[in-house]
Amino acid sequence: MLKNKYGGFLYWLWAAMAVLYFGSCKKDTLMTSGGAIRYGVDTFMFDTVFTQQGSSTRTLKIFNDESRKIKISSLRLRNGNNSRFYMNVNGVAGKSIADVEILAKDSIYVFLGVNIDPTNEDEPFMVYDELIATMNGKEFVLPVYAYGQNAIYIVDSVLDTQTWDDPKPYVIIKNALVAENATLTIPAGARVYVHADSRLFVQGTLKIRGTLDNPVLFQGDRLDRLIYIGDHFGVSGEWGGVYFLSSSKNNEIDHATFINGGASTKIGTGATMAATIQLDSMGDANPKLRITNTKIVNSQGYGILAFKSSMYAENVLVAECGSENIALLEGGDYTINNSTFASYGWKYLQRNNSRVASFTNFLAIDQNTYRATPLSLYMSNCIIWGSYESELLCAKVNDYPAVINIKNSLLKYKDEDVESFVSFENIIRNQDPLFKVVPAGTGVNYHEWDFRLQENSPARHSGATAGTLTTDLLGIPRHTPPSMGCYEFQ
């Protein structure tokens, strides 16, 4: 009985091992007829790619759902050597790759890229090809296409006086510098794309002259977010910013949009501050920058950063910044009317514990030393709000005067963050402005953010007439009394 008992056990053990062995052999056996492969997508698409720039590589998965190993005898691009696409499989690059094996119930990665040549077209155009996998005499076809866009390339350039009025977009690569005493004019409808951490430096003068219907756009040159991050959300820090140097003067920005900027830019062994707009030094008696009807959104660092400079701002929205939305440091002379500064933090931009706004007449160098100059700030009909308990910092050292007057505005702050020298008049304090749509959580696309006011907002028709413009950021006439912030309540 004992022998039969163990004999039965051994029999079943042998049977189980045989199943595993022969099953394994079956999986390792090459399927020589029939079968199918499956692509990870129905169509492989590259978003807009600037000519001469090509595109970063994208990944495609090919699946073997069969219970046996398969061999793709040929994986090729239909246009062969004339294809603008290229691929790499298992370290082998080419337009056609032979004998690609995929184990049973497994998959492989195919790395696809594209180079788009310049054409004479001003509008976006499409490049098309097909990826063809041949297995056991059967072809499996995947459409592959990319949108191309011709552009004017500004590569590591010093710019004399000129106007960017070509209908094609402008792409800045490795920085551009407006020379001292030169003027760069960017008219309505112009599109400026900036590569990686590149930046537009201004020693001379910048005139951005958009209109309500045709604003000027500044953004990064990565237009393929759906592919490289998996959705359409904007990613902060896709480019550097605009840096107004000490010698720069008489700059104007009207009806412009700056999105997804604020990366630091490497210069030799150093780097710039991470800011979408930076102003250094005051210049002459006129404001160094007059900025009106403009949006600065989703900046990785500061929105506006200024050191002992000067600025006039009206109808400006600065929203969602990793550092301060606006930081006016080391003194200077500033007037800000009818503007909104707000940050909440969201899926692709975490705040770094900075307040929305900081105003000081000094700049701390270390714990014991600082630089300081006089500060004059007048602010009226504005909103400073965000997700932190206190969003406003006002401080000074006594070596130099500091005058801050804030009127008819909605502010969020704690007493200990605002020193007693600050003058307030008709302030709404710590009451939610009730914006229509804010980034709350991770499910709101930056295209959907809406910093207009809800009907029951405390800022609605609670301001006072300020500034020189009679309409808001959207061109809506201001009421009497007007609403606070850059948007008038309709």
Residue 18: the pLDDT is 53
- Determine the pLDDT at residue 13: 54
Q: What is the DSSP letter of 446?
A: G
CATH topology of domain 38-147: Immunoglobulin-like (2.60.40)
**Is residue 37 classed exposed, middle or buried when 0-12, 13-18 and 19+ CB atoms within 10 A define those classes?**
buried
Fold for 151-453, please state it: Pectate Lyase C-like (2.160.20)
pLDDT (tens digit, 9 = 90+) per residue, 419-430? 999 999 999 999
Residues of the chain with CATH 2.60.40.2310: 38-147
How far apart CA 443 and CA 436 sit, in angstroms, is: 15
Q: What is the pTM of this model?
A: 0.80
Residue 348 is given by DSSP the state T
Closest CA to 459 of 338, 286, 356: 338
Contact 452, 315 (CB under 8 A): no
Burial group, residue 23, by CB count within 10 angstroms (0-12, 13-18, 19+): exposed
Tens digits of residue pLDDT in 101-151:
999 999 999 999 888 777 767 666 667 889 999 999 999 999 988 777 788
Residue numbers in the chain where pLDDT is lower than 70? 1-27, 47-48, 51-56, 120, 122-126, 223-233, 440-443
CATH 2.160.20-classified regions of the chain: 151-453
The closest of 424, 357, 348, 364 to 388, measured between CA atoms, is: 357
The confidence score (pLDDT) of residue 25 equals: 55
Alpha helices in 104-246 (DSSP H): 225-228
Comparing CA positions, the residue from 100, 38, 42 lying closest to residue 69 is 100
- What's residue 1's pLDDT? 45
CA 31 centroid distance within chain: 48
Predicted confidence at residue 14, as pLDDT, reads: 55
